[in-house]
Structure 1
Amino acid sequence: MSFCSEDRMNRLGCSGKKMEITIDTMGHPHTSIVQAVNGLQVYDLELKNVISLPTVYSREQIPVSNKHIPTSFDASHWPHLADIRVPEIDAKVALLIGSNVPDGYYPLEIRTGPQGSPHASRTQLGWILWNVMRAQKLEEGNHFPSMKTEIAFKNAEEISRLDKMVKESMNFDFPERNIDDKNEMSQEDKEFIIAVSKSINKQEGHYEIKLPFRREKVVMPDNSAQALHRLNGLKKKLSKHKKFQEDYKVFMKDILDKGYAEKVPVSEIHGTPGKVWYFPHHGVYHPRKPETIRVVFDCTAGYQGVCLNSMLLQGPNLTNNLLRMLLRFPQENIAVMGDIQAMYYQVRVPREDCDFLRFYRWPDADYTQEPQVYRMLVHLLGAVSPSRCATFALQQAAKDNKDEYDPDITNMIKENFYVDDYLATVQDETQAVRVVKDVTDLCHKCGFRLTKWISNSHDVMKSIPSEERAKDVKQLNLDC
């Protein structure tokens, strides 16, 4: 089909018969009321060639602008296209010629290059550049180049429809993983929300949430012997690998220094029978960061038929829809991204639940000493519920501070986080500087440190303290 904007039709004095048409898009019919116009012709710029168009249908607006059309400058980067001249016309795009006009696309000449490079075809109407990316010229000022996609939507219904179509297309292409979000909550999910909503409270600048047990009266077997046995397995690795021993010592000291864990006082060693559980643990290196060790607590380790994960409610997926976030992301000019440091460890566990999070360790990784008893004071990475608890706490932060911040800031807390990653786009640098400051401040009030900031704006980056910028941009000279 071919379409012409209603504005251009009015300028041409065209009027056509109003009718209903149904367009099938990715298997989904969409019906619109349009004008059907016959008798239109298009010429090349030299008025030498004319092509008669079949029936053309009106459209309120054409979702394409001149910024999407590649130019001679863009083509000049490719030797086989360097001599092609594409006129730049100062006018809106008001006509889309569809594949039902073969004469408009019939190639009189074709330019090809190396495999993987763009090509061009000369038609009766002029040159068409295929797969040539529109270059973003770096203007003078305080901007870094960035990629931007513009999509014209009339209303939220169109956004929702596009979101649904993209999902269904991905589900068809990749049936092994259905990306659809299931809004309906199971009975267990509802129980999780009720339990967490009742227990969440703010203590010393951090949210505190009880472990979401499946039942109130939890009784756990004494698995301390199993945990000690697994600790002896770790002893062999510490004795053979000195670097591993040193990295392990630093990591464990760090979680103690930051208050994520504590040594259990001698008076509380025995604890309440049935209310104590020990985690085996081991150290692993990140495959992409071979210098970074992470100590993993094994929440799936079973003893006498139970493990902690089997006793906890996992809860519903509270993470924002990534596809919807990515569709929103390119809509404005200035982008900002940040990251919550150790997000899961910022949500604390009440004292009465901490003994379910015990572990053995050797002080200073000195395996010649007797192992000591420690316990985590925060929700434990490796259990089934911490990600849900942390996201719930972040959403709670937006609710609790709605009267202190503008609605756009609290909405960004709700809608612009994907787990611990914050990403948003705004209209200009002034707004971006305010957003970074206010979102960071709101998170800080609730125990979340938002850091590792990056932006495509020079001015925005200069407004952020160097220690809060992403690692790769900390050393940039932003005074140039």
Structure 2
Amino acid sequence: MPHLWSIERNLPPKLNILVALLIGTDCSQALMPRETISGADGLPFAIKTLFGWTLCGQVSECNHVQHVHTTALSKEEHNLSRISQNDMKFLELLNDGLTKLENGSVSLSLPLKEEPQLPNNKIQAEKRFEQLLKRFRKDEAYKAEYCTFIKELISDNHAELAPSNIKDKETWYIPHFGVYHPKKKKLRIVFDASAKHMGKSHNELLLTGPDQMNNLVGILLRFRQNTIALSCDVQKMFHNFIVAPEHRNFLRFLWIDDATEQIVEYRMTRHLFGATSSPGVATFAL
């Protein structure tokens, strides 16, 4: 229906699952309309609530329940029923946006909840960056470690100079700061994906995806099966997965050009430490 085409991409897929929870009208915060789209009299209309878009109205000529039946779920069906519609959308977006490159690397898009409409938060990023520069002037050791980290990020192609021609394109600037590991005494740069500007943040744009981790009980049982057990850690795990080029403008940050000492814009080419979607993206890619 033409009047609903604009939200077609944001509608969840149809799932044949059991209803697990009914929300009553006494829970007004959950059901309160945020947006509505209506058509001509008698046509279905759309309501956006806290949980996303919902279609209301007649969808066929039959509006009467003919019969009700119950059935038992297999283990696979039961596991599927535990996946939410947002989780299904997360998996669908990653499947559609995954590209295997010639060098063996994997590129994945950001699992966006919907097409974002963002305010310009560059002013916020500039203020946070000015605070960082003040810290640099007070602490030369901190500055040296920080600069080394960012230079490695750029030399490893985990970050790139951001293009200047971004007119009519959605962008987002992510502030960053340094924290020392309590045991290693090593500076780690954190991208503040939760920083809000005019009620928006980078993390709020993203789907987190389903829990894809192995069950802890199963891990402990398998750990006892043989004489020797091995474990390993993936270094800079999230940085092993490339962000699709069309989504890199959501990962912009400010830095200083070594030659001119002017503030320039970079953008991440790898998934962020600090983004809520990164654990799910990395586990999916593995």
8 Å contact kept, 1:220–1:274: no
Question: One-letter code of the match for 1:269?
Answer: S
2:93 is matched with which residue: 190, 195, 201?
195
- TM superposition score normalised by structure 2: 0.69
Structure 1: distance between partners of 2:238 and 2:81: 24
Q: What is residue 378 of structure 1 aligned with on the other side?
A: 270
Quick check: 1:219–1:274 contact (8 Å CA) kept in 2?
no
Partner of 1:389: 281
Residues 221 and 274 in structure 1, CA contact (< 8 A), matched pair in contact too: no
Most deviating of 352-361 and 271-280: 271-280
The structure that is strand-richer by fraction is 1
Name the residue aligned to 1:223: 121
2:248 corresponds to which residue? 354
| Whole-angstrom distance in 1 between the partners of 2:151 and 2:276 | 25
CA distance in structure 2 between the partners assigned to 1:339 and 1:305 by the alignment: 36
Which of the numbers 78, 84, 89 marks the counterpart of 1:186?
84
Identity %: 37
In the alignment, structure 2 segments of 5+ residues that lack a partner are: 1-78
Output one character per residue of 1:4-27: Cα deviation in whole Å (capped at 9) or x when no partner.
xxxxxxxxxxxxxxxxxxxxxxxx
Matches within 5 A, 1:58-457: 184-203=82-101, 204-215=103-114, 217-264=115-162, 268-290=163-185, 292-364=186-258, 369-394=261-286
Runs of 5+ in structure 1 lacking a partner? 1-180, 395-480
What is the deviation of 1:187? Answer: 1.3
Q: Aligned partners of 1:359, 1:205: CA distance in 2, in Å?
A: 27
RMSD over aligned Cα, in angstroms? 1.9
1:340: Cα distance to partner?
1.4
SS in 2 for 1:335: coil
Counterparts of 1:271 and 1:374 in 2: how far apart (Å)?
A: 13
Instruction: Provide closer, same or farther for how the CA distance between residues 252 and 195 of structure 1 changes in structure 2, counting only shifts above 3 A.
Output: same
Task: Report the Cα distance in structure 2 between the residues aligned to 1:251 and 1:345, rounded to whole angstroms.
Answer: 13
Cα deviation, residue 392, structure 1: 0.2
So what's the TM-score if we normalise by structure 1?
A: 0.41
The Cα offsets for residues 249-300 of structure 1, whole Å up to 9 and x where unpaired, read as 1100111111110112xxx21414341110011011101111x111111101
Question: Which residue identity lines up with residue 221 of structure 1 in the other structure?
Answer: P
1:235 alignment partner AA: L
Q: 2: CA distance between counterparts of 1:323 and 1:261? A: 39
Deviation at 1:182, TM superposition (A): 10
Instruction: Count how many residue pairs are aligned between Structure 1 and Structure 2.
Output: 207
Local SS of the residue matching 2:266: strand
Instruction: Give the Å deviation of 1:311.
Output: 1.1
CA distance in 1, matches of 2:144, 2:173: 24
Q: Which runs of 4+ in 1 moved over 3 A?
A: none
Q: Any idea what SS the aligned residue of 1:275 has?
A: coil
Map Cα deviations across residues 177-212 of structure 1 (whole Å, 9 max, x no partner): xxxx99711111111111111111212321111111
Return the offset for 1:248: 0.2
Q: Which letter maps to 1:287?
A: P
Kept in 2, the 8 Å contact 1:231–1:280? The answer is: yes
Q: In 1, distance between residues paired with 2:189 and 2:168?
A: 27
C-alpha distance after superposition, 1:220-250 (max 9, x if no partner): 2211111011101111111111111110011
